[in-house]
Structure 1
Amino acid sequence: MTLLIIIIVLALIFDFINGFHDAANSIATIVSTKVLTPVQAVIWAAFFNVMAFWIFELHVADTIAKTVKTDAISLEVIFAGLCAAIIWNLITWWMGIPSSSSHTLIGGFAGAAISHAGFGVVKMDVVLPILLFIVAAPVIGMLVSYIISVIMLWLSRKGNPYKLNNTFKGLQLLSSALFSLGHGGNDAQKVMGIIAAALVVYANQHPDSVPQWMEVIRVGGKIKHIPSWVVMGCYSAIGFGTLFGGWKIVKTMGTKITKMSPFEGVAAETAGAITLFTTAELGIPVSTTHTITGSIIGVGLTKRISAVRWGVTINLLWAWLLTIPISGLFAAGFYWLLKVFSIVAN
Structure 2
Amino acid sequence: MALEAITPLLAIVIITALVFDFTNGFHDTANAMATTISTGALKPKVAVAMSAVLNLVGAFLSVEVAKTISGGIVDENGLKTEVIFAALVGAILWNLLTWLLGMPSSSSHALFGGLIGAAVMSVGWGSVNGGTVLTKVVLPAVAAPLVAGLAAMLSTRLTYRISKNADAKATSTGYRAGQIASAGLVSLAHGTNDAQKTMGIITLALITGGAIAPHSDPPLWVILSAGTAMALGTYIGGWRIIRTMGKGLTELAPQQGFAAQTSAATAILASSHLGFSLSTTQVCSGGVMGAGLGRKGGVVRWSVASRMAVAWVLTLPAAALVGAGAEFLTEQGTWGIGLTAAILVAGAAVIWRLSRRNSVTHANVNADEIGTPAAPVEVEPVIIESPVAEATARPAAAVQSPSA
Task: State the TM-score, normalized to the length of structure 2.
Answer: 0.79
Q: CA deviation at 1:24?
A: 1.2
Change (3 A) 1:288 1:344: closer
Q: CA deviation at 1:72?
A: 2.4
The secondary structure found in structure 2 opposite 1:259 is coil
Q: CA deviation at 1:141?
A: 1.1
Q: CA deviation at 1:217?
A: 7.1
Aligned partner (choices 151, 163, 180) of residue 173 of structure 1: 180
Match of 2:274 in 1: 282
User: Structure 1 CA distance, aligned partners of 2:213 and 2:267?
Assistant: 28
Q: CA deviation at 1:251?
A: 0.8
1:39-50 matches, within 5 Å, as: 39-50=45-56
Q: CA deviation at 1:155?
A: 2.3
More helix by share: 1
Match of 2:171 in 1: 164
Q: CA deviation at 1:156?
A: 1.8
Match of 1:261 in 2: 253
Structure 2 residue 254 is the aligned partner of structure 1 residue 247: no
Structure 2 residue 240 is the aligned partner of structure 1 residue 235: no
Aligned partner (choices 92, 112, 128) of residue 134 of structure 2: 128
Contact 1:142 1:299 in 2 (8 A): yes
User: Structure 1 CA distance, aligned partners of 2:231 and 2:336?
Assistant: 41
Q: List runs of 5+ in structure 2 lacking aligned partners.
A: 1-6, 338-404
Change (3 A) 1:23 1:344: closer
The secondary structure found in structure 1 opposite 2:171 is helix
Change (3 A) 1:255 1:199: same
User: Structure 2 CA distance, aligned partners of 1:305 and 1:97?
Assistant: 26
Change (3 A) 1:4 1:155: same
Q: CA deviation at 1:169?
A: 0.8
Q: CA deviation at 1:314?
A: 0.6
Match of 1:184 in 2: 191
Q: CA deviation at 1:44?
A: 1.0
Contact 1:27 1:42 in 2 (8 A): yes
Q: CA deviation at 1:306?
A: 6.4
Structure 2 residue 323 is the aligned partner of structure 1 residue 331: yes
Match of 2:42 in 1: 36
Contact 2:66 2:218 in 1 (8 A): no
User: Structure 1 CA distance, aligned partners of 2:177 and 2:295?
Assistant: 22
The secondary structure found in structure 2 opposite 1:134 is helix
Give, as a single letter, the amino acid of the residue that structure 1 aligns with 2:304.
Answer: V
User: Structure 1 CA distance, aligned partners of 2:281 and 2:230?
Assistant: 15
Contact 1:168 1:266 in 2 (8 A): yes
Give, as a single letter, the amino acid of the residue that structure 1 aligns with 2:105.
Answer: S
Aligned partner (choices 136, 158, 162) of residue 151 of structure 1: 158
Q: CA deviation at 1:199?
A: 1.0
Q: CA deviation at 1:337?
A: 1.4
Match of 1:64 in 2: 69
Give, as a single letter, the amino acid of the residue that structure 2 aligns with 1:78.
Answer: I
Give, as a single letter, the amino acid of the residue that structure 1 aligns with 2:277.
Answer: P
Change (3 A) 1:201 1:235: same
User: Structure 1 CA distance, aligned partners of 2:334 and 2:226?
Assistant: 30
Give, as a single letter, the amino acid of the residue that structure 2 aligns with 1:68.
Answer: V
Q: CA deviation at 1:326?
A: 0.3
Give CA deviations for 1:101-153 in whole Å, capped at 9, x if unaligned: 00000100110000011111000111112112222121111011112222222
User: Structure 1 CA distance, aligned partners of 2:204 and 2:279?
Assistant: 20
Structure 2 residue 29 is the aligned partner of structure 1 residue 23: yes
Q: CA deviation at 1:200?
A: 1.1
The secondary structure found in structure 2 opposite 1:35 is coil
Contact 2:207 2:214 in 1 (8 A): no
For the aligned residue pairs, the C-alpha RMSD in angstroms reads 1.6
Which protein, 1 or 2, shows the higher relative CO under an 8 Å CA cutoff with sep ≥ 6?
1
User: Structure 2 CA distance, aligned partners of 1:118 and 1:242?
Assistant: 36
User: Structure 2 CA distance, aligned partners of 1:217 and 1:3?
Assistant: 19
Sequence identity percentage: 39
Q: CA deviation at 1:323?
A: 0.2
Aligned partner (choices 80, 100, 103) of residue 74 of structure 1: 80
Give, as a single letter, the amino acid of the residue that structure 2 aligns with 1:73.
Answer: L
The secondary structure found in structure 1 opposite 2:77 is helix
Give CA deviations for 1:264-306 in whole Å, capped at 9, x if unaligned: 1100110110010000001001111101100001011112586
The secondary structure found in structure 1 opposite 2:223 is helix
Give, as a single letter, the amino acid of the residue that structure 2 aligns with 1:51.
Answer: V
Give, as a single letter, the amino acid of the residue that structure 1 aligns with 2:157.
Answer: V
Change (3 A) 1:5 1:257: same
The secondary structure found in structure 2 opposite 1:72 is coil
Q: CA deviation at 1:19?
A: 0.5
Aligned partner (choices 4, 13, 17) of residue 7 of structure 1: 13
Contact 2:154 2:294 in 1 (8 A): no
